[in-house]
Every structure is written in structure tokens, then in C-alpha cells.
Chain A
Amino acid sequence: MNIVYPLLAVIALTLIAWLGVWGLGLDSLFAIVIPYIASAVFVIGLVYGVIKWARLPVPFRIPTVCGQQKSLPWIKSNNLENPSTTAGVIWRMVLEVLLFRSLFRNSRAELAGPQKLVYSGNKYLWLGGLTFHWTLLIILFRHLRFFTEPVFLPVNWVEELDGIFQLALPTLYITDMVILVALSYLFLRRVVFAQMRYLSLPADYFALLLLLGVVISGVLMRLFYKVDLVGVKELAVSMLAFQPAVPDGVGLAFYIHLFLVSSLLAYFPFSKMMHAPGILLSPTRNLRNDNRMRRHINPWDYPVKVHTYEEWEDEFRDQMKKAGMPLEEEA
């Protein structure tokens, strides 16, 4: 069930775009209105979500440290895994965001025999995740050519490099193939491994299937269902200028692709995909471990009931006196 419903949902989204454009001729709705709304939801939702988090107090400084602290001068401290300076935190975050440093540590625990636990390196998830995110970034970057005129030069370079294995026209991009493999891996591991299946929610499958839908529709329209790229660019540029005009005969595949992208954008701020901005705010990663050097303030700190020394001495005075212990009041 966890997989069926998300799958049906993605199929339904595809059918909606198909029927809407091919059956009902709602070209402008799918080309202009929905993408605008989805983009607005994405931007507003993202900003709202980040601001909501950022405004929340961080009462305690709780970094999870993964290396030697800065203490005595002759002990080499690890400012990257256990940053005591802001520069260290920045490096830690850069490695986390760009290279998924923590996930790189991943290992697998196995009971290899009676009372014999072994741990082996397990880099597949790291590799799959990193590959997916990086190829997605490159693909998004390539898409800039639809929004800029003249095309930003580095976009051409990336595109050329990405299409270096061109065998036939049209160009088969490396990233398109790689992202398909990566997404399939990320999906299959949730299906194949019993533990992953057990802990996965419908939302986990939905996000992956929706992304797969976006990629597949994109690849299909490049390779098989040719769409009018000049028309697509006209649309993109006109929408950016807020003077949208739907060009004729762009091709159905494009509308499906665009609708799935729109769905993804609109879904993003309400989904686990918010981990993207979220990681930047994660208190176990983005704080310095200088707790004993600089006082951290809890903005909502309040006084609490304590057992004062005087109350304590009152309770134990007699025994303390007998034991000859120093007292504040001899009474």
C-alpha cells in the first residue's frame, strides 16, 4: 500500500496533464497558470519554512562533535569535525552540503556469527544520494539555457561536457542516464531491503516516483517525443518577463514534464524535501563547540525552584555538627 498509492498518484498527475492538454485543450492553464502558482507556492513555502525555523530559539548549544576538542595546546584539535571557530563550522557545513560528509561515514552492522558483530563500510547510500543530488544540480543548471538569451556561456560548456558521449542525434546526456540509475537505486533499496520497506512512508516513495516521473518525461521528450525547443524557450522567457504567451505546437510531452515539475515544486515546501534548506539550520552541525569558552544564551530561560544551601544546611545541621563539619550557622 505504501508504494501503490504514491505510484497511482504520480500516474494520476501524468494523466491529468495529458487529459488537460490533449483532451480539453487547456494549454495556457498547464503552460502558464499552474507553473506560476507552483513556483509561487515553492518560493513562498520555502521562504516561510526557513523563516519559521530560523526564528525558533536555539536554547542550548548542542553540536555533535566527531573529533578531538580544542583543549590543551599540545593536543592537536580537529577543527573540521569538532569546530571551535566559525571558519571550522563553515568548512564542516560545506563538506556536509557538497559531499555529504556524515553519510560518508555510513557502515553496516552485521551479526556475522554467534556473538560476533562486524562492521563494514557501506558507501552505496552515500554514492547514490550524492550522485542524485549532483546530477540534479547539473541538469537544473543546463536548463538555464531555456531562461537566458544569449545563453550564459558556462551553461554551454556544461552542456557540451555532459553530452560528450554523443552517439547519435539528439544528444544523450550523461547526467540524464546517471540520475535515472541513482533514483532507481534509491527507490529499489526502499523496496528490496525489508528494514527499509518497514520504515518507509508513502511520502518517501512519492518523492522518488515523482522525481523519476520528471526525469523520465524529460528524457522521453528529448529522445522520442520531440518537442519544439524554440517554443519552450519562448514560453520560458516570456514567463520570466511576466508577459506569458503560449507558443503553438510545443508538444504534449513537454506539458506532462512541466506539470510534474510544477507538482514537485508545489509539494516541496510541505515535504521532507525541506531537508535541503533544513540542514543549514541543524543545531548539531552548524554550531561551534566552544561551549566552555563562550556562554550561550537561552532566550527563554526562566528561574526554577532550587534547593538552596541554607535550606540544605537547615535539614542536615545537627548531623553535620555531630560530624564536626563546617557550618554557616551554628544555631
Chain B
Amino acid sequence: MKDKKVTPEELAKIGYTPPKKGWMDTDVEFRKGTYSYSAPLKNQEYLGLPNPRQWQVTDADWKLPENWKEIILEGMKDRLDKYRSWRLFLDICVRCGACADKCHYFIGSGDPKNMPVLRAELLRSVYRKNFTLGGKIFGKLGGARDLSEKVLKEWFYYFFQCSECRRCSVFCPYGIDTCEITMMGRELLNLVGCTTEWIVGPAANCFRTGNHLGVPPHAFKQSLEFAADEVKGITGLTVEAPINRKGAEILLVAPSADYFASPHWFTLLGYLMLFHEIGLDYTWSAYASEGGNFGLFHSDEMVKRLNAKIYAEAKRLGVKWILGGECGHMWRVIHQYMDTVNGPADFLEEPVSPITGTKFENASSTRMVHICEFTADLIKNNKLKLDKSRNNKWKVTFHDSCNPARAMGLLEEPRYIINNVCNSFHEMPENTTRERTFCCGSGAGLGADENMEMRLRGGLPRANAVKYVHEKHGVNVLACICAIDKAAFPPLLEYWVPGVETAGVHELVGNALVMKGETERTTDLRCEPLTLEGEVPAGAVCEPPKDEEDRKDYWK
């Protein structure tokens, strides 16, 4: 946070009393720290987005195209005919309010327009005015209002203050999914060239280089080689990290942050160690060097454009099936979209674990398996030798990432793994885990630095639950299976709950994994002592990954 002046005590003073003026009469205020910057022109142009231009969120004039209203209304009509979900969710809400205090942004900010019901009303009101009889006849009395620049700005502010986590949808008596509302809202904004740098930048990078960070293939290779060196330093073993290797049995696709950011990096070391130990016949791909998909935060079309590379690469390399790394929204795309938009994957085989012979029947069509499913199966079949005590310094809690929890139901697999690699595991309160899990506050493309206040506010409910187990059980690490989590939690927890680290599940696996022929472990994967009191012995070869600053030049 650039502006460190606001203390947690101050930020957590949240008022939930709505203003006197009705929501249709209050204007949006772009307060510093609560919005993301607009997308730069070159990225818009690179992706061929409609109505590209250079503009700033704080400008009075957003330089909208002349016929912008027409474009939006036409876009609404188009989507009303294409998505039952959207039309239905615009039609059937009864405003019972059950969703209101389920949203982490509402809980953290108290802004009533962050209640999912009102977030949707921002769109519904325009829908009513233009597409329903009642709205046309009764106007404001019928909950309808005209589309205006003020409304458009409000859309921009609040649709980029929703992390599409779908928690409200769990509680809605009709299953109304604000994510669908927000996604369509963002698609409409895209049509008139209003989107954010933090979404379009990674999407443009991904389209060009294959990954969000814009890492070119040779740097990708260097990064994996560097990781292999680190594994050698820690274990004394030489591990392979094959890239673009034709004829491998399995293609591994992971979020790019795993090989370029911290603490994701330690998860990567965990993968490399695990695959080496079981002798997996697999390959990385520099072309499909990203499992995540910022297209999901942009439009359904962009989902398809960015995700196409995964099946294309699997086909080119001739693998049998695909294994996917730890990532949240990536798995929403893989699980709920990929087969539909990029399938059928009939050139692949139904996934079978080459180590245990287990058939992953639940992935028989998509042919892509979650690494937690894969590893849980290995452990269940006693294929791994694990020394839990190597994680003894960690008192672990597990954060269910929104998408694996609410789009897949991947709940027990990671817990099973954690319980097999750690001695001390503590669940957060039940209202904050599993299908009720709270977002990290930075999902769905909201992770921009300039949006830090909103991220901290949105992350408050999660951080507060971590604080609870931190104080009650001394929990000092939050395990998770999402790359955005791993980027979002370090600053979030440092702010709200100092003393709790963030780790990937496979980092903990790597720590516990007893490898054939390894030297005695003197450090964990972070090159830190194995115990809290211990010291890194002199002569330990490993070094922590380079600071993210050094990698800035890849961000283009």
C-alpha cells in the first residue's frame, strides 16, 4: 500500500448505514485507492478491442464514441438473447436482501452499492427502462432509469469492484449469480472501450507470449532451469523440467506466476520435486505457459481466445492428457468453459495416472486433471514417502479459493494432502470456508496496486477469519491453491494479520516429500530453517528467488 497512513483500526471502522439519498440519486466518486486504471491504448489495439482510445478514469470526459448508448443497448439486446442466465437473473430477483452481507466488498466497505442485489440493480434499472413494459410505463417508480454517462461510470466502478467470486449465489434462493451480472456488465463496458489495465495488460501479454506476465520462451526456460537449480541446492538431486517435449505422456499447465512470482515459486519447486520423485513422463510448454485466463475477467470471447492454446499445444505435442496446476479462476475456465469453448478434446485420452493406474473418470471428457486430485491419489495409494515433521514449523490453515470451491467442489482433495504433509492443520470458522469461502479481495482482475484500499477492504472478511485461527491456534501459514491468492495474501495478511505467511499446497508437499537419494534437508523450499528457531546452516546452496523488481522488464 502506497499510502500507509491508514491503520487497520481505522480502515476497519465500517459504517453500514446507507445514505439518506436513494441509490439512483447518488453519484459515483472515484476515490483514490478504490479503482483500477484504464487500459492503455496499445494493449487495446493489440487485442483488437472495440473503440480503443487513451483515457483516464478520473477524466470528466471518457471520450466515449458518439453512439455509445446505442452500442450498449444493442449489446444488451444481443446478450439477452444469448444468455438465459443473464436474462433470468435480471428478471427474477425479489430483492430479499439475503445476498447483501455475503459480499466481502460490502462487508469491508459498507458501500450499499456493493450489496450484490444493488450491484445488479445498476444494470437491471437500465434493462427495465429499455426492455420491459413496466419499466417503460412507470419509469423510476418501476425501478427503471435512463442510461447516462453517470450510470456508465457507476457500472465501471462497481463491476470492477466485484471479484466474480459467486459467494452471493450460494445464498440466493434462486441462485442468482452476480458473476454473470458482472461479466455481462464488463462485456458491455468493453464495447465502448472501457476496461482496465490490470485485465487487458495480462490478456494482451498472454495472447502474445502465452502467459500473463509476458515472459518470452527463452526466459521461461531460464526460469525453470533456475528452479531446477534451486531444487538441487535443497535436495542435492538433479530434476528435469522439460519444455515443449513431443511425445511426453502429460502436458503440465500452471499459472505463470508459479515460475515468476513469490511465494508461488515455492509451489513450482514442489511440482518439480514431486514429478521427479514419481518419474512422471511430462512436459511444460512455453506456448501454453499460462493456465490462468484473464479473458475470464474481460469477455467470453477472450476466454476462448486465450484458452485455445492449451488444447492446441496438447495436440501438437501429442500428449495423452493434461495436468493443471494450482490456480483458482484458471480452474473455473478449465472446469466450466474449456470443453465447451475449445473442445472436444477427442485427440487426447481419458486421463489415467501412470503411477497408480487410477482413472480420473471425472475428467473423462475435458481430459484435464487438477494437481490436487492427482497428488491426493498418489498419497492414497502410498506412492509417496512423506515426512510431515519437515513442516512442523507451520501451523496451517487452508483457504478455499472461490472457483475451485464454488465452481468445482474441490474441497477434500487439498485438505487430504495437507493432512498428509503437515502435523498441525486448523480450519477457519465454517461460515468462511468451503462453499462459503471468502475471496482474497483481489480476484477477477482487481489486483492492481492502485486499487489497494478496495483490495484490503474486500480481503477483510478472509483476513479476519485468518486472524481468528492465528490467535486461537497460532496459525502461521495460509495454504491455498490459487495464484491470485498467492499474490494477494502477502500484503493483505501483512496488513490485517501480521505473522501469517502464504503458501501453496504443493510447497508443503515439496517440504514433506522424502526423495530417493536426496541429501539431508537443511532448509525448507524457502531456503529458510526447518524450525522456527533454527538457522540456515552455512554452506546451504539455495538462494531465494530474485525479487519481483528484477523481473519488471518482462512486463510490457
Contacts and interface: CB of A to CB of B under 8 A. Distances in A.
B448 interface: no
B172 A295 contact: no
Given A65-B406, A109-B107, A202 B115 contact: no
Nearest to B465: A117
Interface stretch (B91-99, B270-278, B479-487, B514-522): B91-99
Given A49-B91, A56-B84, A66-B406, 17 more contacts: A56-B81, A56-B88, A62-B336, A96-B173, A102-B171, A102-B173, A103-B171, A111-B16, A197-B18, A200-B95, A275-B173, A282-B88, A291-B366, A292-B364, A306-B305, A316-B209, A326-B245
B536 interface: no
A105 B171 contact: yes
B506 interface: no
Interface in B44-93: 48, 81-85, 87-88, 91-93
Interface of B: 8-9, 12-14, 16-18, 22-23, 48, 81-85, 87-88, 91-98, 100-102, 107, 112, 115, 117-118, 121, 132-134, 138, 141-143, 166, 169-177, 180, 207-210, 216-218, 221-222, 243-246, 286-287, 300-301, 304-305, 308-309, 312-313, 316, 334-337, 339-341, 343-344, 358, 360-366, 368, 373, 376-377, 380, 406-413, 416, 429, 431-432, 434-436, 460-461, 464-465, 467, 496
B22 A301 contact: no
Contact of B408 (A125, A289, A294): A289
A198 interface: yes
B471 to A, nearest CB: 10
Nearest to A55: B84
A129 B171 CA distance: 14
A223 interface: no
B472 to A, nearest CB: 13
Nearest to B108: A117
Given A325-B221, A326-B244, A102 B170 contact: yes
29 contacts: A53-B87, A56-B84, A58-B84, A61-B336, A66-B434, A67-B409, A69-B408, A71-B360, A71-B413, A81-B435, A102-B172, A105-B170, A114-B9, A119-B432, A125-B97, A129-B173, A195-B115, A198-B23, A201-B95, A201-B121, A204-B95, A278-B88, A279-B175, A284-B176, A301-B341, A305-B48, A307-B309, A319-B217, A328-B316
B92 A274 contact: yes
Given A71-B413, A195-B16, A272-B92, A60 B336 contact: yes
A328 B9 CA distance: 58
A70 interface: yes
A108 B431 CA distance: 10
Contacts, number: 312
B435 A312 contact: no
A56 to B, nearest CB: 4
Nearest to A328: B316
A52 B492 CA distance: 45
Nearest to B11: A115
A295 B408 contact: no
Contact of B180 (A62, A71, A81, A290): A62
B112 A309 contact: no
Nearest to B370: A71
Given A62-B177, A117-B460, A278-B92, A53 B8 contact: no
B513 to A, nearest CB: 20
A100 B173 contact: yes
A68 B97 contact: no
Nearest to B374: A72
A49 B141 CA distance: 22
B500 to A, nearest CB: 14
A72 B363 contact: no
Contacts of B461: 109, 117
Greatest chain B CB density within 10 A among A84, A100, A298 is at A298
A148 B465 CA distance: 59
Contact of B91 (A71, A278, A290, A304): A278
Contacts of B93: 272, 275
Contacts of A319: 216-218
A5 B305 contact: no
Greatest chain A CB density within 10 A among B97, B207, B222 is at B97
Interface in A110-135: 111, 114-117, 119, 125, 129
Interface in A63-114: 64-72, 74-78, 81-82, 84, 96, 100, 102-103, 105-109, 111, 114
Q: Report the 9 A-B pairs with minimum CB-CB distance, sorted nearest first.
A: A69-B409, A284-B175, A278-B92, A323-B218, A56-B84, A119-B431, A198-B18, A292-B366, A66-B435
B404 to A, nearest CB: 9
Contact of A283 (B84, B117, B344, B361): B84
Contacts of B465: 117
Contacts of B132: 270
Contacts of B344: 295
A160 to B, nearest CB: 32
A19 interface: no
Where chain B touches its partner, the secondary structure class is: helix
B16 A201 contact: no
A306 B217 contact: no
Contacts of A69: 362, 408-411
Contacts of A117: 107, 460-461, 464-465
Contact of A57 (B84, B362, B409): B84
Contacts of B245: 326
Nearest to A108: B101
A115 B337 contact: no
A309 B9 contact: no
Contacts of A196: 97
Contacts of A82: 409
Given A111-B14, A295-B340, A78 B9 contact: no
A296 interface: yes
A46 to B, nearest CB: 13
Given A69-B408, A111-B14, A289-B409, A275 B174 contact: yes
A65 B409 CA distance: 6
Nearest to A283: B85
A96 B170 CA distance: 12
A233 to B, nearest CB: 34
Contacts of A54: 84
Greatest chain B CB density within 10 A among A64, A78, A200, A306 is at A64
A293 B362 contact: yes
A268 B285 CA distance: 56
A194 interface: yes
A79 to B, nearest CB: 11
A203 B143 contact: yes
B321 to A, nearest CB: 11
A104 B97 CA distance: 13
B102 to A, nearest CB: 8
A199 B118 contact: yes
Contacts of B413: 71-72, 75
B85 A62 contact: yes
A72 B358 contact: yes
B173 to A, nearest CB: 4
A285 interface: yes
Contacts of A62: 85, 177, 180, 336, 407
Contacts of B100: 195, 199
A316 B217 contact: yes
Contacts of A111: 12, 14, 16
Nearest to B432: A119
Contacts of B118: 198-199
Given A62-B180, A109-B461, A103 B98 contact: yes
Nearest to B179: A62
Given A72-B358, A72-B373, A115 B365 contact: no
A265 to B, nearest CB: 16
